[in-house]
Amino acid sequence: MATTVAREVFTEEDLLKVQGRAELVDGNIILLSPAGGQHGYVVTRLMVRLGAYIEARKLGGLLVDSSTGFRLPAGNVRSPDVGYMTAGRAPNPLPEGFIVGAPDLAIEVLSPNDRQREVLGKVGELLDAGTAMVWVIDPKQRRATVYSGNGAYRTDVLDGEGVVPGFLCPLVEILP
């Protein structure tokens, strides 16, 4: 569940001082609560598989976890559970602060307290900012929804499509 910290307008510098996970959304700092065991398990299993695939095929790029903020063109700083920027878009050298631009692939794993409206708002914002594909994984329902510029569909197999070509991961292999 997210909690908003009230103040007139926060900046990126304010966000960098926050202890714990948070995002900057429309001038507000949104504190992100710990997600729980299932969430961490799914994120870790997926990152290990995705990272091994990217390394084995020498795709390069940048694979990061939720502690990494992406500064989107509208000024918000978002932190998907997993983010991947392809080799042609990944910053080099890596900045000490937030990464400028949207990830090519963003992955959100739902937690029990996530609000659908907030998740869909984040998905829409990422797509508007240039993210090619967003996977929203629902461990409770044991399915994923894939969002892209072509719309959305539900699936039980994650497909990297044009972002991570050839990557396929059945959800059953990463869910508890």
Q: Which residue type sits at 99?
A: I
The C-alpha atoms of residue 141 and residue 138 are separated, in whole angstroms, by 6
Give the residue numbers spanning the domain of 129. Answer: 36-173
Tokens coding 159? 């497909």
Q: Which residue type sits at 40?
A: G
- What total number of domains does the chain contain? 1
What is the per-residue pLDDT across 61-108, written as a single tens digit (0 to 9) for each?
999 999 999 999 999 999 999 999 999 999 999 999 999 999 999 999
pLDDT value of position 59? 97
The verdict on residue 114 lying in a domain is: yes
pTM of the model: 0.92
The C-alpha atoms of residue 106 and residue 104 are separated, in whole angstroms, by 7
Rounded mean pLDDT of the chain?
A: 93
What percentage of the chain carries pLDDT values higher than 90? 80
What CATH code is carried by the domain that includes residue 133?
A: 3.90.1570.10
Span 109-129, mean pLDDT? 92
pLDDT value of position 7? 54
In the block, tokens 């299932």 appear at: 38
The verdict on residue 64 lying in a domain is: yes
Span 131-157, mean pLDDT? 96
What is the per-residue pLDDT across 53-67, written as a single tens digit (0 to 9) for each?
999 999 999 999 999
